[in-house]
Amino acid sequence: MDIARNPEMADAAPTPHEPPVIRREDYTPFPWILPEVRLRFDLGLEATRVVSTLTVARNAKADPSSTIRLNGDGLQLVSVSIDGEPVNTWSMDGDDLILPLSGDAHEVEIATEIDPGANSQLMGLYASNGMLCTQCEAEGFRRITFFPDRPDVLSTYSVRMEGEKAQFPILLCNGNKVEEGELEDGRHFAEWHDPWPKPSYLFALVAGDLVANSSTFTTMSGRDVELNVWVRDGDLPRTDHAMESLKKSMQWDEETFDREYDLDLYNIVAVSDFNMGAMENKGLNVFNTKYVLADPDTATDADFDAIEGVIAHEYFHNWSGNRVTCRDWFQLSLKEGFTVLRDQLFSQDMQGEAVKRIEDVRILRSAQFPEDSGPLAHPIRPDSYREISNFYTATVYNKGAEVIRMMRSMAGPEAFRAGTDLYFDRHDGEAATCEDFVRAIEDGAGLDLEQFRLWYSQAGTPKVEVAMRYEGETATLSLKQTVPPTPGQPAKHPMPIPLRIALFDRESGEHGGEQLIVLDTAEKELAFEGFAQAPVLSINRGFTAPVAIERTAPREDLVFLAARDDDSFARYEAMQELVVGHLVAALGGGLSDEEREVGQAAIAEAFGAILTDDTLDDSMRGELMMLPSQTYLMEQMLVADPGRIHAEREALKAWLGQHFHSTLETLHDRVSAVPYSLDGPARGARKVKTQALVYLAAGDPESAAERAWEQFDGADNMTDRQGALMVLAGLEGALRTNALLDFYNRYKGNDLVIDKWFTLQAWSTHPQAIEHVKALAKHPDFTLRNPNRVRSLYMAFAGNPHAFHQADGEGYRMLADLILSLDPINPQTAARFVPALGRWRRIEPHRAALMRAELERIAAAENLSRDTYEQVTRSLG
């Protein structure tokens, strides 16, 4: 919903530099409905003319108005007519066009001109390497034509596109193509119609010189759907995986959610200049090339997985986002949280549930948990914003998915499916709210979710304190929850927290069954009878709740669970907890030499069991071998010293590499003999190969460098080559230089692979990583105008704690300089770098002061965008 320029929904009289605050409680329906929209485009890279014809009628569900507000942003108005008559009684309110409308129904025609080539924001209609494409979510359609650019205005669209055939041989839009033909002077046209009402943010247009990987899919009702993946000619051989992923997604959604595709045509277009990963525009998905193009030589196993997951995500939006859309942007998690859950469940079925669940939790903890504990914390359904693009966050997406997953856990898969069926049936063709979704699950699954609604309104990651006492064959589990204060929410209420638990017998290594308990009060005790000795508690199995478990489990219990738990996530969690406990104690300065040796021995016992467990598949083994990230370790401390955390973590890694040197070499040799394929065992072998190499390099850099070079030089796939280069990039010596030069020369001209080259150096543990980043920023292949390239260098750098948190603050200055340089070009991308500086409150005082000073420098800049201004001011507090 566009409420950013609606004075009825904004605080009065904001300063010119300070955008207005938009509040959810101020929502009112738009006074007009627009059942039909007709658009005509005369396409050009430097000048495109747009003629929009809007059928307008009064909205009986809204307060009447004698005017209509049509949002605009940087448009050149050519003409306006109402009911066929030119008018000049319009007025402008900022960028918005205000038209007087006296009757109950009208036809409004507006002509505008835009310059796609000058659109560096990549929002609206813009040029990308000689082609035209659009990105309209959240508020980009107003950069194409004047329109009520809000998600609760649903219209059917008919579009005619005209342009030079030599320049734009392919003309694509939403829906089904109804006509195409030749025009005079080498021009041609195509007409499209989308029969399904949609909001303006789902409009899409692409015009360019493209080729298609084409196929068909037969739906469960027997309809044949034409499928196309459109790319530039040279990229066509790398589109087969995307096509197969689309077909799998369509079949899975029919089988799992009973959702059938509803058009005759489904187009995907890969674009190299794109702010996001992909966009679910109805029938015409526009994708970042990163999530379309793949083959074994240029894409890692993780890339293949990401393409499959993102293709699925955008396809699933056809129902959870398009057929049922959002009433306003505060409801963003309605479509994104639900669709993330759907793509996670799909990927679990495609790749294996155990490893996928761990990967999802790792992402949540690295991105969303820090967001929840910092100055940018917000509920999954926010109460206010200044710039909506800042709320495409891990909280809305990933925590939103976890909240819906909790409903599924409490209801069970079948009852949850009954709830989602009811949701789609009730709200098909509507702009709905998060409350509509919860009510449908409540009614369909037979749950009482009154208290559960707090998950939508309260920010912060709940902490659950866990204690177990044993007496007289009875084990008593004590649970206590707290939801920490967050900006604007100092006090919180207890929320329902579903936790799967199991109690293991120490001797047999078995448990009597898993059970789901719900902590719905501040404190709760549960008693379990019939244990001859104290059991071992496995809790939050499968990560049933997005909470932080705080317990002082005996070290031997964690070793037991890390080696023997039959729940894959719980086994992973025990290993993480064992390492975190040891490192946090070391960082606190409270470990004697003897205690350090005891802690290392316990970790080694669990780690050794993981390396040698023949029952483990290698995909799971690779997950269990990973140490907690430095970012996650920083989250475990009230005030973190990034330098000390890095040193302690690297020291433990080196110790493990030395302690298990021969075992790791044997393991690396075994998995290196597995031939390349995309099946599970081969992918697992490659994951273990890289992890073994990481530890070997930490323990003995010189010998590991030779082994890494052999892997790099002999690799027949990108996963092995990138894994070896990642290790070499962190080492000194000629082999590092040779590998980086070889990689660049081998893939020069392939933008996606060269992005990897930038990232591997910016991420590296090399002591001079910050100098490498400074040099790479001056590289001829680096540009601020391509979001992928900017993220490949600077987002990787900001996520590299040992380089970014240099004690002299140079890393902070570099990032602030980037933000100030990028903001005038692409404010949406610039704003996404601010949170890295916004964590200053959790960093030791010296670095915190330097981080805050850079935020203040950014805030003082003139003409700062709304996107960056909001992120900076919220980060400063």
For 621-656, what is each residue's pLDDT tens digit?
999 999 999 999 999 999 999 999 999 999 999 999
Would you state the pLDDT for residue 68?
A: 98
pLDDT, mean of residues 38-63: 98
Would you state the pLDDT for residue 657?
A: 98
Would you state the pLDDT for residue 538?
A: 98
Is the Cα torsion angle 173, 178, 183, 186 positive or negative in sign? positive
pLDDT, mean of residues 86-90: 96
**CATH superfamily for domain 326-457:** Neutral Protease Domain 2 (1.10.390.10)
With 0.75 as the threshold, say if the pTM is over it: yes
Residue 399 has pLDDT above 70, yes or no: yes
Residue 43 backbone phi and psi in degrees, to 5? -85, 140
Residue 187 has pLDDT above 90, yes or no: yes
Chain center to CA of 851: 25
User: Helix (H, G, I), strand (E, B), or coil: what is residue 793?
Assistant: helix
> Where in the chain are all domains bearing CATH 1.10.390.10?
326-457
pLDDT, mean of residues 504-511: 96
Q: In angstroms, rounded to a whole number, what is the distance separating the alpha carbons of residues 672 and 688?
A: 9
For 463-498, the pLDDT digits (tens) are: 999 999 999 999 999 999 999 999 999 999 999 999
Per-residue pLDDT band at 19 (split at 50, 70, 90): confident
User: Given its phi and psi angles, is residue 80 left (phi above 0), alpha (psi -120 to 50 degrees) or beta?
Assistant: beta
β-bridge pairing 384-385 and 523-529? unpaired
Would you state the pLDDT for residue 617?
A: 96
CB atoms closer than 10 angstroms to residue 425? 11
Q: Are 386 and 19 in contact (CB under 8 A)?
A: yes
Residue 9 backbone phi and psi in degrees, to 5? -120, 15
Nearest to 830 by CA among 777, 788, 786, 868: 868
Structure tokens at 573: 């969690």
Dihedral, CA of residue 368, residue 336, residue 826 and residue 824, to nearest 10: -70
For 702-751, the pLDDT digits (tens) are: 999 999 999 999 999 999 999 999 999 999 999 999 999 999 999 999 99
Residue 234 has pLDDT above 60, yes or no: yes
314 is annotated as an active-site residue: yes
pLDDT, mean of residues 379-393: 97
Nearest to 149 by CA among 123, 120, 173, 188: 123
User: Which of 137, 139, 308, 314 is labelled catalytic?
Assistant: 314
Q: Are 356 and 297 in contact (CB under 8 A)?
A: no
Q: In angstroms, rounded to a whole number, what is the distance separating the alpha carbons of residues 678 and 410?
A: 35
Residue 353 has pLDDT above 90, yes or no: yes
Residue 459 has pLDDT above 70, yes or no: yes
Would you state the pLDDT for residue 7?
A: 27
Would you state the pLDDT for residue 17?
A: 57
Would you state the pLDDT for residue 4?
A: 28
- CA distances for 213 relative to 269, 270, 294, angstroms: 11, 12, 13
Q: Are 770 and 803 in contact (CB under 8 A)?
A: yes
**CATH superfamily for domain 33-299+310-324:** tricorn interacting facor f3 domain (2.60.40.1730)
Q: In angstroms, rounded to a whole number, what is the distance separating the alpha carbons of residues 721 and 677?
A: 15
pLDDT, mean of residues 778-795: 98
β-bridge pairing 96-100 and 91-93? antiparallel
Q: Are 794 and 815 in contact (CB under 8 A)?
A: yes
User: What's the mean pLDDT when you consider all of the chain?
Assistant: 96
Nearest to 712 by CA among 745, 747, 676, 743: 743
Nearest to 258 by CA among 104, 405, 421: 421
pLDDT, mean of residues 223-244: 98
Nearest to 582 by CA among 598, 599, 597, 595: 599
Q: In angstroms, rounded to a whole number, what is the distance separating the alpha carbons of residues 237 and 232?
A: 10
Q: In angstroms, rounded to a whole number, what is the distance separating the alpha carbons of residues 493 and 727?
A: 47
Structure tokens at 789: 């390239």
Q: In angstroms, rounded to a whole number, what is the distance separating the alpha carbons of residues 204 and 175?
A: 10
HSE value, Cβ hemisphere, 13 Å, CA-based, for 429: 8
User: Given its phi and psi angles, is residue 509 left (phi above 0), alpha (psi -120 to 50 degrees) or beta?
Assistant: left
> Where in the chain are all domains bearing CATH 2.60.40.1730?
33-299+310-324
For the chain, what percent of residues have pLDDT higher than 70?
Answer: 98
Report the side by side order of strands in the sheet with 211-218.
211-218, 224-231, 265-271, 284-288, 278-279
Structure tokens at 112: 């505008």
